[in-house]
A and B are shown apart, each in its own frame.
Chain A
Amino acid sequence: MAQVAPAVTSTDTMLRIDGVHKWLGHNHVLRGVDIEVRTGEIVCILGPSGSGKSTLLRCINHLDPVDGGVIEVNGERVGYQLHDGQLYEQSERRVAKARQHIGMVFQHFNLFGHMTALDNVTYGPARILGRPRKEAVANARQLLAKVGLADKDDSYPSQLSGGQQQRVAIARALAMEPRLMMFDEPTSALDPELVGEVLQTMRQVAEEGMTMIVVTHEIGFAREVADRVVFMDQGRVLEDGPARDVLDNPQHERTASFLSRVH
């Protein structure tokens, strides 16, 4: 793999992952991962299960702590601060603040079960960002309309299909006006019939210029929407390049064998 980290981080770098290591117990899940994502770029991460893709996403917003390496979003370290050449974990409050502008969409949606769709989307802006309630509600209604669920304001998550829940979850993340959106296998838990509507919503978000990292098995989506594809296996990046190059002409044999089986 010929991946050379640029010596100087350009100003339009949204995410810089540099030499990240992560152990879960005795399992070395991330073994020195370097990825850089520019502002507005859409990066799909592919790889077999257990390759560390989801863990990497969880490390980016410090849901899981890293054991080594640096992750910076928009030039700021997430979860740690440098002090005398050593990285120290920040207080819970500081980390929470840093997470506000990193949107995350989960495989199992994780909508707040005790709130309506509208409340799910309103909650963050109103209760965390402290926006005036009226403004937050109006904005949330707009977002729900955008993901095609204008009529589902008052529905509780359990009354929505998986695809609808995931679209509300995307609206909830967008409501926080994130600089970066992370999608962790957003369609893996869906009935085949419902995958399309979620991908369509993601396409829409992409078209608006959002910086996106998408862990997915949807090769078609990656080919069509992604600027870049990163292939990971066993905690390492094996291939990283323009989406069509990697997908149609993989250089690493592991990437090739993976793609030949997924297609």
Chain B
Amino acid sequence: MPEITQSPLPTSTKPTHFVRRAGDEPPVQEAPIRAKRRPQYGQIVTGFVAIALLVLFIQSQAQNPNMEWNVTWEYMFNPVVLQGVGVTIQLAIFAMLISIVLAFGIALMIQSNNKVVSVIGRAYVWFFRGVPMLVQVLLWFNLAVLFPVILGQDTNTLISGFTAGLIALSLAESGYMAEIIRGGIISVPTGQTDAGVSIGLTRNQALARIVLPQSIRVIIPPTGNQFIGMLKATSLVSVIGGSDLLTRVQLIYGQNFKILPLLIVGVLWYLILVTIAGTGQHFLERRFNASQPGSRRSPKSTGTAKTTNIRTIIGGALWRK
């Protein structure tokens, strides 16, 4: 068996000790070797195919006599349609606002130490998230069957299609929003509560003043998403004559039987609304995305902490990363 001898390291393998000295910068290369990325051939090919298909489709539809584009353009800015667009926007905004207010309450109930209150909150979410929105819309519209008179008034005159739709959309949405808000609350580290409590806040005060303001940045992006969903969900109220965009479009084609051109009017308006909301959503996400630390301005001097009050409540969402 050969004997293993430990030979001393040859001098050449002794690690060198490099120290960067001032003025010891590497020379800038006159013509560095450029490294080019491989061209995306697949992308170029699919691009051509996609454009070709799109052109073919548009061409075929533009020439399709059954589409009657002139009818579509004629009704696009018809006052009745425009009113419907207005109603749809109102429904979406009001339903969203109401649902957010409700959802904050429900989320706090679920997070409460009071077990009974917590279970009630969970039951609420279970019901309003569980029953399909369309069914809820129908339920509220037919409330008169259960309660013919509310507050001394005839239920059917009190609750119009719009009101029934608004109530149904708000309640159904609040179930989802409650879960989003609860997720936001949970996302704030428990150390924040510990710190708030350690300087003398009660647990509820710490939740309201320390945790909630910080949860808003997590809550806002999905809320934008929900709003886009809500814009489309408003079309459900057409089943009870909610006078929204779809209701009006249906009303018109019920008279002139130009079904497809008028549905296209609806399609275009919904796409316009969703695109506008989506753009807003994009900017909101840019602002609140925690993974983009460089996206915000550095703080400018704001003098004293006089604004703390407002800042901690509303502006909690707007602090710079």
Q: Which residues on A are within 8 Å of B, measured CB to CB?
A: 61, 63, 92-93, 95-97, 99-100, 102-104, 106, 108, 110-116, 118-119, 122-124, 126-129, 133-134, 137, 140, 154-156, 158-159, 169, 172-173, 176
Known: A112-B195, A114-B319, A128-B199. 20 other contacts (CB 8 A): A63-B198, A93-B202, A96-B197, A103-B198, A104-B195, A104-B198, A106-B195, A110-B192, A111-B195, A112-B210, A114-B213, A116-B305, A118-B305, A119-B311, A122-B305, A127-B308, A128-B201, A154-B300, A173-B199, A176-B200
A110 touches B199 (CB 8 A): no
Cβ of B191 within 8 Å of any chain A Cβ, yes or no, is: yes
A96 touches B202 (CB 8 A): yes
- Quick one: which of B280-310 are within 8 Å of A by CB? 293, 298-302, 304-306, 308
Q: Which residues on B are within 8 Å of A, measured CB to CB?
A: 189, 191-192, 194-205, 209-210, 213-214, 293, 298-302, 304-306, 308, 311-312, 315-317, 319-321
A119 to B195, CA, bound (A): 14
Shortest Cβ distance from residue B171 to the other chain A in the assembled complex, whole angstroms: 31
B214 touches A114 (CB 8 A): yes
A125 to B196, CA, bound (A): 12
Answer whether A126 and B301 are a contact pair too, CB < 8 Å, given A93-B202, A96-B200: no
Chain B residues, CB < 8 A from A122: 305, 308
Chain A residues, CB < 8 A from B205: 96
Shortest Cβ distance from residue B48 to the other chain A in the assembled complex, whole angstroms: 46
Q: Smallest CB-CB separation from B191: which chain A residue? A: A110
A128 to B202, CA, bound (A): 10
Answer whether A133 and B191 are a contact pair too, CB < 8 Å, given A99-B198, A116-B299: no
A100 touches B200 (CB 8 A): yes
Q: Smallest CB-CB separation from B290: which chain A residue? A: A158
A-B contact pairs, 17 of them (CB 8 A): A61-B198, A92-B202, A95-B202, A99-B199, A104-B195, A106-B194, A108-B189, A110-B189, A110-B192, A114-B315, A116-B299, A126-B305, A137-B305, A156-B321, A158-B293, A172-B199, A173-B199
> Is chain B's interface secondary structure helix, strand, loop, or mixed overall?
helix
Shortest Cβ distance from residue B311 to the other chain A in the assembled complex, whole angstroms: 7
B312 touches A114 (CB 8 A): yes
Q: Smallest CB-CB separation from A128: which chain B residue? A: B200
Chain A residues, CB < 8 A from B210: 112
Chain A residues, CB < 8 A from B195: 104, 106, 110-112, 169, 172
Interface centre among A114, A127, A140 (most CB of B within 10 A): A114
